[in-house]
Each structure stands twice: as structure tokens, then as C-alpha cells.
């Protein structure tokens, strides 16, 4: 079965690099049938076999210690130092995997920024506590995107740094610009690529948008230094003296400031203003996909008697008429929608506070009516007003062989 990585790379090469299917198959070492299937499918493959542990995992601390002191120490020397007596291939594969953690990269390769080539992403955490309702105020992350050629800026406050919200924020920024850069640069954010390798939802996002995820080496903030500097720019030029009533108010203010000020400033290294150069960026980018990528939170659960579903620490009410049935929950940056067989059974504004209960009064009224009907049915006698029939006792006398000579007969009932 094709992996998510191959699926994403096939779509990128076909849409962004304009390579023919035969050349893609030769380049990736896959069959043309695999290429055809990957291009026909709008969704990433869902099954991925979990990687098994390696025998070399037991000696990882010793390997890390040696590579920390001598990053380019040959694998054969490492095997000798740690007393490795198993397959050398297993050890070499593990060393090949972790050696880049210590050798680093040459940052000079990132100095020549071409139109449409890359967009850098980062999270900025402004200090002011933003009111989010229910008497709470939180320090919320701001997702920042910088186009590396034109220095064009966009930013958006999001409710959390989980994968679903990060991808939803990325798509909102990308679709707002109107095109996709050929590569998206991230650091090793826990919800993006915690170990230097993009998570499956992130790879699926890249495949749908026909782009490539580039993950920065560990402990190398200069790899995406452009957007890091922009975070400082926000701190010194946008934030001072401002007050925010809500996340929507923050997004409104920063969007207006970026449009009127940040993208109008003269960038010395560029020799122009970002707003004047972004057209060249857009012309070289990849067009937006025909269908948007999967973002946000998605789950399928069975609705219990407590007709609430939890999304990101908050509970949302659902129409209690669908208790016991499977429902599909989708949470975007702004809404939480629940479907059952294609019908909407709950639709709430997304709550950015923590540990709250969001209730639709109509759901409570429906639950009250259902509970009243249930109690009424339970209290009703099983037989209702039906008259109970009595069988004459003489019938039982005949059944047990008793006659009138042995036992005096009664009219209808035997005395106790």
C-alpha cells in the first residue's frame, strides 16, 4: 500500500513540478499504477503500518554520547566503541537516522529566495491575556506566515497549537493569499513534526495542496530566521499600547495593521515594498487545490444518554433524539458541527475557553419532553384496564383426578 509520504510527493511533483506520470514513477521507484491511483485519489491513504522497534534502540544513549562529541564518527568505529556484536546494517540504519541531529545543515543554501519557492511558518505568543468568554482570559498562539521572496506577511490568532487548529490556520492564511508556495517551512513543532518528520495529517495537508513540508534541523532558529524576526517586529511595532476585547478583535486589529503598515513598509534587502512584489510570488506559486484539505478536528462517536460531546476540553450539547446513534463531529476554528446521517444535529460557535459546557436551549427542551414521555410510559400498568379472566376451580379438580365424591365442589373458587 502506498504511504502518505509517497502519495503527497507524487501529487507535488505532478502539480507543482509538472512532471509526467512516467517520470514520477521512475524518480520515486514506484509503478505507474501507483502514480495513477495517487493522482486519482483526493484523500490520503488511511492505513500506515506502525514502525517496529530496532535492536539498536537499547544502545541509543551510547550512540548519542559518541555523536555529540564526534558527529561524523564512522559507524564501524561506533560499533567497536559500544561493543556491538549484532548486524552492522541495523546499527548503520539507526546511526544514519540520528546523525543529522548533530551534523546540522549549511544555512547558506537559504539565502537565495526565488519567487513562489517557500513560505515560513511560526507561532508567536503575545503576552496580553485575551478574553475568551466565561470569565476566562488566555495567552493564545498566533500563526504567522511569511513569503520568503516578497516578505509578504499574514497572521492569525488560533485557539490552540494542536494539529487540527494549526492546519486550519495554515489553510486560512494560504487561501487568503490565493496560492500555495512550493514548500512550507516549519520548525519541529510538536503538532507538526516533533521528531523531524511531518505527522500523517501534515503530510496529507501537503499532498492535497501539492506542496512540500520542509522541517528545520534541531536547535537551528536561523533556518527560518525571517519569520522569527517578524515575531520581534510584531512585539515592538504592533503590540505596544493595544487592548483586545476578544480573539476576533485581535485578528481584526492585526489584519488591518499588516495591510496598512507591515506589507507597505520598505524592506532594505528587497529594495521594495512587499505589497509591490507579492505579485511575482503569486505568479510562481501553485494554484489552490480544487477541494480544500482536511483540517480541524474530526471524530465519530456514539451519542450517550448524557447528550454532550467533548471537543478540546469543552462539552457541547447534541439533539437528544439521536442518543445511541453514531454521529460525526467536526470542529473548525469557529464552529463545532455534529452530523448524523448527513443531517445537522448540533451547531455551536467554537468555545475558546477551557472546561466549559456549551448548551443549546432547544436541546434541553427536547430532552425534558423525551424524559417526561419516558416516565409516563414507565408508570402505566402493563395490562392497562383489561379485565383479568378467572378459571373455575372444577377444571383443576378434573385435571388432578378429583371428583365431587372425594372433594366437595364449589361454585367458582375454593375457600382458602
- Counting the structural domains of the chain, the total is 3
Strands, E assignment, 148-240: 153-157, 183-186, 212-215
Do the domain assignments include residue 385?
Answer: no
Task: Give the domain-ending residue among 284, 317, 336.
Answer: 284
Query: In terms of Cα–Cα distance, which of 180, 173, 178, 115 is closest to 148?
Result: 115
> What is the Cα 351 distance to its own chain's centre?
17
Q: Quote the crossing angle between the two packed helices 200-209 and 4-15, to the nearest 10°.
A: 20
Residues in contact with 190: Cβ distance below 8 Å, sequence separation at least 6, in sequence order? 161
Residue 312 lies in a domain: yes
- As a whole number of angstroms, the distance between CA 69 and CA 71 comes to 6
Residue 4 lies in a domain: no
Verify that 243 and 182 share a domain, yes or no. Answer: yes
Please identify, among 103, 127, 161, the residue that sits at the C-terminal boundary of a domain. 103
Q: According to the model, what pLDDT value does residue 111 have? A: 53
Q: Are 351 and 358 in contact (CB under 8 A)?
A: yes
Q: How many CB atoms lie within 10 A of CB 381?
A: 7
90 plus 140 within the same structural domain: no
Task: Give yes or no: residues 124 and 189 share one domain.
Answer: yes
Q: Please tell me the distance from the alpha carbon of residue 362 to that of residue 321, in angstroms, as a whole number.
A: 12
- The answer on 344 and 199 residing in a single domain is no
Q: Is residue 258 part of a domain?
A: yes
Residues β-bridged to residue 329? 299, 338
Please tell me whether residues 329 and 347 are part of one structural domain.
Answer: yes
125 within some domain: yes
Domain final residue, candidates 259, 284, 309: 284
Separation of alpha carbons 275 and 393, rounded Å = 103
Q: Do residues 129 and 212 both lie within one domain? A: yes
In degrees, rounded to 5, the angle at the alpha carbon of residue 53 between the alpha carbons of residues 49 and 55 is 145
Cα separation, 78 vs 100, whole angstroms: 16
Specify whether the CB–CB gap between 67 and 73 falls below 8 A: yes
Contact 16, 286 (CB under 8 A): yes
For 311, the domain range is 297-378
How much is the pLDDT for 347?
A: 97
Pair 310, 258 in one domain: no
Pull the grid cell for residue 376.
409516563
- Give the pLDDT of the chain (416 residues) as one tens digit per residue: 678 888 898 888 888 888 898 888 888 888 888 888 888 887 887 765 666 778 888 888 999 999 988 988 999 999 999 999 888 998 999 898 888 888 865 444 445 689 999 999 999 999 999 999 999 999 999 999 999 999 999 999 999 999 999 999 999 999 999 999 999 999 999 999 998 999 999 999 999 999 999 998 887 777 788 888 899 999 999 999 999 999 999 999 999 999 999 999 999 888 899 999 999 999 999 999 999 999 999 999 999 999 999 999 999 999 999 999 999 999 999 999 999 999 999 999 999 999 999 999 999 999 999 998 888 887 776 655 556 566 677 776 776 676 655 555 455 444 43
Residues 203 and 214 in one domain: yes
Residues 220 and 350 in one domain: no
- Cβ(307)–Cβ(363) under 8 Å? yes
In a domain, 79, yes or no: yes
Task: Note whether 200 and 271 are same-domain residues.
Answer: yes
Contact criterion met (CB below 8 Å) for 214 and 183: yes
Sign of the CA dihedral with 19 first, then 21, 22, and 26 last: positive
Q: Residue 68 region, left (φ>0) first, then alpha (ψ -120 to 50), else beta?
A: alpha
- Which pLDDT score, from 0 to 100, does residue 387 have? 61
> What pLDDT was estimated at residue 385?
57
Between vectors from CA 342 to CA 337 and to CA 346, what angle results, nearest 5°?
Answer: 30
β-pair partners for 154: 145
Alpha-carbon separation of residue 26 from 11, 22, 38, 345 (angstroms): 15, 6, 15, 49
What's the pLDDT score for residue 381?
A: 67
Q: Distances in Å between the alpha carbon of 160 and those of 137, 245, 296, 320, 350?
A: 14, 18, 11, 29, 12
Could you tell me if residue 5 is inside a domain? Answer: no
Distance CA 87, CA 79 (A): 10
CB 11 within 8 A of CB 39: yes
Helices and strands (H and E) in the chain: how many: 14, 14
In this structure, the answer to whether residues 250 and 342 fall within a common structural domain is: no
The 3-state secondary structure of 169-183 reads HHHHHHHHHCCECCE
Quick one: which of 318, 229, 319, 303 has its CA closest to 268? 229
Which pLDDT score, from 0 to 100, does residue 47 have?
A: 63
Question: Do 352 and 307 fall into the same domain?
Answer: yes
The answer to whether residue 35 sits within a structural domain is no
Distance CA 293, CA 334 (A): 17
Q: What is the pLDDT of residue 415?
A: 42
Q: What is the pLDDT of residue 107?
A: 47
Cα(27)–Cα(10) distance, integer angstroms = 10
Amino acid at each position: 500500500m502506498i504511504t502518505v509520504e509517497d502519495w503527497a510527493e507524487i501529487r507535488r511533483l505532478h502539480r507543482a513540478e509538472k512532471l509526467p506520470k512516467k517520470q514520477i514513477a521512475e524518480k520515486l521507484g514506484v509503478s505507474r499504477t501507483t502514480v495513477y491511483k495517487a493522482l486519482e485519489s483526493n484523500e490520503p491513504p488511511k492505513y500506515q503500518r506502525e514502525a517496529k522497534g530496532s535492536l539498536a534502540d537499547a544502545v541509543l544513549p551510547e550512540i548519542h554520547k559518541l555523536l555529540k562529541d564526534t558527529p561524523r564518527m564512522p559507524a564501524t568505529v561506533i560499533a567497536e566503541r559500544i561493543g556491538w556484536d549484532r548486524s552492522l546494517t541495523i546499527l548503520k540504519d539507526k546511526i544514519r537516522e540520528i546523525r543529522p541531529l548533530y551534523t546540522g545543515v549549511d544555512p547558506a543554501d537559504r539565502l537565495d529566495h526565488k519567487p513562489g519557492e517557500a513560505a515560513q511558518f511560526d507561532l508567536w505568543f503575545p503576552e496580553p491575556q485575551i478574553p475568551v468568554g466565561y470569565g476566562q482570559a488566555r495567552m493564545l498562539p498566533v500563526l504567522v506566515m511569511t513569503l520568503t521572496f516578497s516578505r509578504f506577511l499574514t497572521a492569525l490568532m488560533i485557539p490552540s497549537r494542536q494539529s487540527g487548529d494549526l492546519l486550519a490556520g495554515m489553510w486560512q492564511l494560504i487561501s487568503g493569499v490565493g496560492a500555495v508556495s512550493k514548500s512550507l517551512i516549519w520548525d519541529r513543532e510538536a503538532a507538526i513534526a516533533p521528531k523531524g518528520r511531518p505527522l500523517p495529517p501534515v503530510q496529507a495537508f501537503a499532498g492535497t495542496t501539492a506542496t512540500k513540508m520542509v522541517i528545520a534541523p534541531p536547535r537551528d532558529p536561523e533556518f527560518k530566521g525571517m519569520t522569527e524576526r517578524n515575531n520581534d517586529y510584531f512585539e515592538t511595532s504592533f503590540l505596544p499600547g493595544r487592548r483586545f476585547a476578544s480573539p476576533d478583535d485581535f485578528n481584526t486589529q492585526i489584519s488591518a495593521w499588516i495591510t496598512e503598515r507591515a506589507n507597505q513598509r520598505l524592506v532594505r534587502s528587497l529594495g521594495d515594498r512587499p505589497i509591490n512584489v507579492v505579485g511575482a510570488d503569486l505568479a510562481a506559486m501553485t494554484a489552490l487545490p480544487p477541494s480544500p484539505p482536511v483540517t480541524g478536528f474530526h471524530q465519530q462517536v456514539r451519542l450517550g444518554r448524557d447528550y454532550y460531546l467533548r471537543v478540546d476540553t469543552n462539552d457541547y450539547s447534541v439533539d437528544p433524539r439521536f442518543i445511541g446513534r453514531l454521529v460525526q463531529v467536526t470542529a473548525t476554528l469557529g464552529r463545532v458541527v455534529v452530523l448524523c446521517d448527513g443531517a445537522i444535529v448540533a451547531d455551536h460557535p467554537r468555545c475558546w475557553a477551557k472546561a466549559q459546557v456549551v448548551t443549546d436551549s432547544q436541546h434541553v427542551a427536547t430532552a425534558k419532553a423525551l424524559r417526561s414521555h419516558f416516565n409516563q410510559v414507565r408508570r402505566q400498568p402493563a395490562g392497562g384496564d383489561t379485565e383479568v379472566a378467572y378459571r373455575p376451580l372444577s377444571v383443576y379438580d378434573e385435571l388432578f383426578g378429583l371428583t365431587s365424591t372425594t372433594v366437595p365442589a364449589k361454585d367458582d373458587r375454593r375457600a382458602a
